[in-house]
């Protein structure tokens, strides 16, 4: 009887963890344990089961001389698409209407705004005006090929954050490998 109870608890914890991973993709096992107020052992067991079920994948990155495992849901694999919830931006403002301006601010930071920013324009390596797509609850932007190549984004980890009404992408750490459960 004990194995049935623990099996049920395992499925419940897996479900909660998967929902959290979908809501917060790219967190480490430690960050997930902290967010859910669980032990790392419980999170580790759920991660192993979810990997085995092909419901998540892990991106191993090198950051500040350390190796960090970041957990993503299978269907939300990072790409050149940036999605930002509309309610986080002042989208009624005409700034975020049809186009966005994307700036290569420095070797590890990309700035995106709904308008031209003269300070960013003066200091950026290059910039592009790109179309944006508005869905009912989010804005979608495709990072231009020039930026993908310059920042080597295929092999680098990124963090998307907001600064006022602007989007910042920080390139942090090299992707060492992706872990998926073998078929």
pLDDT tens-digit map of 151-174: 998 888 888 888 888 999 999 888
6 and 60 part of one domain: yes
Beta strand 66-73 pairing with 27-28: antiparallel
pLDDT at 138 over 70: yes
Rounded percentage of the chain residues whose pLDDT exceeds 70: 89
Residue 6 has pLDDT above 60, yes or no: no
Cα 67 → chain centroid: 17
Indicate if the alpha-carbon torsion angle 82, 104, 121, 145 is positive or negative: negative
- Residues 101, 125, single domain; the answer is yes
Does 151 lie in the same domain as 95?
yes
Could you tell me if 17 and 36 are in contact, meaning their C-beta atoms sit under 8 angstroms apart? yes
**To the nearest whole number, what is the mean pLDDT of the chain?**
85
Tally of structural domains, the chain: 2
120 and 160, same domain (yes or no): yes
Looking at per-residue pLDDT, the higher value among 46 and 164 belongs to 46
């Amino acid at each position: 009887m004990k194995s049935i109870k623990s099996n049920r608890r395992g499925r419940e914890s897996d479900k909660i963890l998967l929902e959290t991973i979908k809501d917060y993709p790219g967190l480490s096992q430690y960050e997930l344990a902290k967010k859910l107020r669980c032990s790392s052992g419980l999170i580790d067991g759920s991660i192993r089961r979810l990997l085995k079920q092909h419901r998540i994948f892990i991106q191993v990155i090198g950051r500040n001389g350390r190796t960090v495992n970041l957990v993503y849901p299978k269907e939300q694999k990072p790409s050149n698409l940036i999605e930002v919830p509309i309610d986080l931006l002042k989208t009624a403002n005409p700034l975020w209407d049809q186009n966005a301006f994307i700036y290569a601010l420095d070797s590890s930071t990309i700035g995106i705004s709904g308008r031209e920013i003269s300070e960013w324009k003066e200091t950026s390596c290059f910039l592009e005006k790109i179309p944006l797509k508005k869905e009912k609850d989010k804005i979608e932007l495709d990072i231009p090929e020039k930026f993908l190549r310059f920042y080597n984004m295929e092999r680098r980890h990124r963090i998307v954050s907001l600064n006022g009404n602007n989007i910042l992408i920080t390139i942090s750490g090299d992707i060492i490998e992706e872990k998926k459960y073998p078929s």
